[in-house]
Chains A and B, each alone.
Chain A
Amino acid sequence: MSFDIDVRRTLGETEIACRVEPGAGVTVLFGPSGAGKSSVLNMVAGLLRPDSGHIRVGGHTLFDAAAGVDRKPEARRAGYVFQEPRLFPHLRARANLLYGWRKGAAVDVDGVIDLLGIAHLLDRWPRTLSGGEAKRVAIGRALLTDPAFLLLDEPLASLDRARREEILALLERLRDGIGLPILLVTHDRAEAERLGDRIVAFGE
Chain B
Amino acid sequence: MSLYQVQKLIYQLNRDPRTRQRYADECDAVLGEYDLTPEEIGALMKPDIGLLYVLGVNGQLLMHFAALHRIEWADYLERMRQGLREHGPVREGVYATTGYEGVAAHDARLKAERETR
Decide whether A and B assemble into one complex.
no
